[in-house]
Amino acid sequence: MSPVLLIAWREYKQYIFSRGFLLFLILMPLGAILIAGALGLAESAKPARHFTIYDATGKYAVPLAEEFERRRKRNIVTSYDSWLSFAADKAAIEEKKIPAPFAPGPPDSVRVEAFLAAGIDGANAAAAPYLRNGAPPFEEPRWPFKLEPPPPDVAAAPGIEEARERLKPYLLDEKLPPGADEPLFAAVLIPRDFGPGEGAPAVEFWSRNVTDAALKETLGVALNSMMRREAAEARGLAPGAFDSIASIETALEDFRPDRAVEDAALDDRDRFEIALPALMTYMLIVVIFGAGQLLLTNTIEERSNKIVEVLLSSVTADQLMMGKLLGIAAVGLTMPTIFTLTGLVAAVGLGGGTETLSALSTLAGSGLIFVYLFYFFCAYVIFAMIFLAIGAMSNSIQDAQSFMGPVMLIVFLPLPFIMLVYQNPNGFIASLLTWIPIYTPYAVMMRAASDPPLLEIAGATALMLAFAIVLTRAMGRIFKETILNPAPVRLSDVWKLLRGASGRSRS
Amino acid sequence: MTATVLKLQDVVKRYGDFSAVDGLSFEVGKGEIFGFLGPNGAGKTTTLRMMLDIIRPTSGRIEILGSASAVKVRRRIGYLPEERGLYRKMRAAETIAYFAQLRGVRREDAKRKSHALLDRFGLGEFARSRNEQLSKGMAQKVQLLATIAHDPEFLILDEPFSGLDPINQHTLEDLIRELRGQGKTIIFSTHVMQHAERLCDRFLILAKGKRRFLGDIAEARAAHPPRLILRTRDPAEWLAKTRGVLSIAAKGDPEDGEQAYELTLAAGADPQAILKAAFESGLRLSRFELAGASLHEIFVTLAGDVGPIASPQTESEAA
């Protein structure tokens, strides 16, 4: 094995076969399962939020309770639709084989009432012939809110001011409402003058736990729905018509004008291709940051442990640098590769295999993957050389801090602009970033799928390559000059090193 | 005449205005144990690094194993730097095999050799220990074994005895002799003169980047002014005026009424004539000894802040 590959393999082995990494690989899926389980357990173990309504108008408490009940029923149907999307064969859904009201669709009042009339057992029986093997049956979702009647002393309050005072002991867990086994989580107070007109007072939401917003959000939706329903009926709309109107959903499809009309509609493959540049760019930043830190600590270790001199008597400084770059790049890519493969396996396992494989084969066929790999490699080399040089100049992480600040700023500077380039890949910001050599890889990766002007990309790439060569030589020179120097280098010495270092050491 | 494995010619290394090495020239023959002596900051490590082409000389020429650059022949060289370290998480056998592989030994051979060396030097049971678990002495042995695992013909050892206990120093001396017995050339730097005195065929004394001496111990002693040590209860300072005596100095404090003196003699001075002069003057002597300079004394004299002195080789070169 060549010395470069030997060094690369040692670097790779040092991290990938370390106990910490192997433990992480084992614990990662376990951790994901545990977190998902813990979140599910926390949600299911969380007691229902008990709340009550004090209605000073005397006319909104019942409609509001009815709205809550509609939400609960609707929640059963939407949960059923979600369950069906992964439990049933996709073909059966697309071919609309499952009969109404059990076929997935808008949860209007007619469907919801018909669904609940058949019950959960009826829904499971209707879906059974179309389920994938091993799919679990549908279970009624837990509704996390429970409306309680106001405690008698609160109900008897002559006005909202008195009601507030009387509710406080219940909200502060000092008293339980009669017959209740749980304290009140919240109370909704509807003022006397509340109504549809402008200038009407706000409904008051009293709760000691302001961070748990689920009840408040549901309440807001229910109140809006209640008021719109009242307004619709006041304008003469039949009571059931409002639900039908509210459940109308319009389909909006994407098309690309650069294709023949029959192929112009965007499919999953196109969406994958559009999303990929952003994914690759973020992955690049993650790899650069992760691998950069490894290069830095690793070089500092070799320098401070005095290993580097033995290495340099066995290999050249260039071979040492190249070995490190390759080894740490492989380390940096291992984690995202594992995540990607796990994601693909999960996608295939969850039934998205055909779409995933089709998207991947399209990507490989389009040549875009090679564009991404080329710019990924260029960006890695540019930043890795900077980290190597910093490591060679520092005896400790503290020494490296003075160099790291500006470098990290440069690494992360394009982050705020990535979305702008993503949304407008041929706009001014995209073009500007493309012509800044250190950001050319980011910008071109983001633009690659959007047919950017070829001349602009070629020119910017040539500039980036020239910059990469100059930077690599300069950083390599710093590495060779300083790696054996026992004293750490100050920021102010870097320019001197770049100017006066040539010809002193071997390459 | 033995073949030359290392030749330095007018080698200079400057850092700005500072000359770390200044016009250094010498040769090392095949199979020699060559001592590279000098105080701290003399330029020893810089010279060794230049020999290995880790750093480039500002001017001058270096030829090693017939090559103008050590890079081309590095697999034939073993180097143990003064400041040495190991990968903390690497195992002892793995470390030795890794460095052997870097110097061109095949993987399987490197592994076999590393275990054999560890067994031979009493570290067999620590072959699978991580370097961070080894004692300092063990770690130094591992470093040394990593230097010789690829069976180099030329060994460059920078302060190899530094940090070793007396037993391990003895083991290392034996190893160096054994390697020389196998025909290998060894150059080592040190500022502990006893090792050099026991091991070196020839040595070079370097101070402030300049050569102060090059030759063997006999030549060094011959070039060093002879001394007389005498002990008497009488005043002896007047001996300074005796023919052949350059200077006289009291040595230490008087003991039992007697004072020791050290007389520095001129080259070719006759000690018997001085002894005769002492008796004739009634000097009561309890000790009269002609002392050859130890390498330590030669070193202190040559590497101290004195001007460059002529050495046999310098003189012959000049001739």
pTM of the model: 0.69
What number is the ipTM of this complex?
0.76
Token representation of residue A386 = 């900077």
Residue closest to B158 by CA, chosen among B254, B260, B56, B47: B47
B67-87 mean pLDDT: 88
Judge whether A244 is closer than 8 Å to chain B, CB to CB: no
Token representation of residue B219 = 């030549």
Of residues A448 and A459, the one with the higher pLDDT is A459
Residue type, A163: A
Say whether pLDDT at B177 is over 60.
yes
Of residues A416 and B133, the one with the higher pLDDT is B133
Binary contact (A504, B55; C-beta < 8 A): yes
Question: What is the rounded distance in angstroms from the CA atom of residue A60 to the CA atom of residue A66?
Answer: 10
Judge whether A19 is closer than 8 Å to chain B, CB to CB: no
Binary contact (B77, A313; C-beta < 8 A): yes
Residue closest to B102 by CA, chosen among A303, A307, A391: A307
CA distance to partner chain B, nearest, from residue A323 (Å): 12
pLDDT at A28: 75
Q: What share of chain A in percent tops pLDDT 70?
A: 93
Mean pLDDT of the residues in chain B:
86
In chain A, what residues touch B88 (CB-CB under 8 Å)? 301, 305
Mean pLDDT of the residues in chain A:
83
- Cis peptide, bond prior to residue A101, ω within 30 of zero: yes
In chain A, what residues touch B69 (CB-CB under 8 Å)? 506
Judge whether A16 is closer than 8 Å to chain B, CB to CB: no
Question: What is the rounded distance in angstroms from the CA atom of residue A109 to the CA atom of residue A118?
Answer: 14
Q: How many CB pairs under 8 A join A and B?
A: 72
Residue type, B272: Q
Judge whether A311 is closer than 8 Å to chain B, CB to CB: yes
> Tokens 């039934």 label which residue?
A351
Binary contact (A314, B99; C-beta < 8 A): yes
Q: What share of chain B in percent tops pLDDT 90?
A: 36
Binary contact (B54, A315; C-beta < 8 A): no
Token representation of residue A308 = 């580097």
Judge whether B17 is closer than 8 Å to chain A, CB to CB: no
Burial grade of B143 (CB within 10 A; 0-12, 13-18, 19 or more): buried
CA distance to partner chain B, nearest, from residue A313 (Å): 6
Residue closest to A129 by CA, chosen among A104, A156, A97: A97
pLDDT at B65: 93
Token representation of residue B208 = 């402030």
Report the range of poorest mean pLDDT among A168-182, A343-357, B144-158, B250-264.
A343-357
Report whether A457 contacts A444 (CB < 8 A): yes
pLDDT at B149: 93
In chain B, what residues touch A7 (CB-CB under 8 Å)? 102
Phi, psi of A470 (to 5 degrees): -60, -45
Binary contact (A506, B83; C-beta < 8 A): no
Instruction: Quick: pLDDT tens for A144-153.
Output: 899 999 999 9
Show the 3-state SS of B107-166. HHHHHHHHHHHHHHCCCHHHCCCEHHHCCHHHHHHHHHHHHHCCCCCEEEEECCCCCCCH
Residue type, B150: H
Report whether A93 contacts A85 (CB < 8 A): yes
Q: How far is CA B43 from CA B22, B85, B202, in A?
A: 9, 21, 18
Give bridge partners of residue A95 from the DSSP assignment. none
**Which strands make up the sheet holding B59-64, listed edge to edge?**
B18-29, B4-15, B59-64
Instruction: Quick: pLDDT tens for A192-215.
Output: 999 887 888 999 999 988 888 889
Helices marked H in A128-263 — which ranges?
A: 152-155, 160-171, 214-234, 241-246
Instruction: Quick: pLDDT tens for A245-260.
Output: 887 778 788 887 878 8
Question: What is the rounded distance in angstroms from the CA atom of residue A450 to the CA atom of residue B71?
Answer: 49
Report whether B298 contacts B224 (CB < 8 A): yes
Q: Which of A305, A484, A506 sits opposite B56 (nearest CB)?
A: A506
Cα-trace Rg, chain B: 24
- 3-class SS at B36? strand
Report the range of poorest mean pLDDT among A97-111, A112-126, A219-233.
A97-111
Report the range of poorest mean pLDDT among A302-306, B73-77, B109-113, B232-236.
A302-306
pLDDT at B319: 30
Instruction: Quick: pLDDT tens for A217-234.
Output: 999 999 999 999 889 988
Question: Closest-CA residue in chain A for B46?
Answer: A484
Band the pLDDT of B309: cuts 50, 70, 90: very low
Phi, psi of B291 (to 5 degrees): -110, 130
B32-60 mean pLDDT: 90
Q: What share of chain A in percent tops pLDDT 90?
A: 22
List all residues 6 or more positions away from B56 whose beta carbon is below 8 Å from its beta carbon.
A503, A504, A505, A506, B50
Say whether pLDDT at A448 is over 70.
yes
Judge whether A18 is closer than 8 Å to chain B, CB to CB: yes
Question: What is the rounded distance in angstroms from the CA atom of residue B302 to the CA atom of residue B284?
Answer: 34
In chain A, what residues touch B53 (CB-CB under 8 Å)? 506
Report whether A427 contacts A420 (CB < 8 A): yes
Band the pLDDT of A50: cuts 50, 70, 90: very high
Binary contact (A310, B79; C-beta < 8 A): yes
List all residues 6 or more positions away from B261 whose beta carbon is below 8 Å from its beta carbon.
B229, B230, B231, B232, B236, B239, B248, B249, B250, B251
Q: How far is CA B8 from CA A450, B92, B157, in A?
A: 63, 35, 17
Report whether A253 contacts A429 (CB < 8 A): no
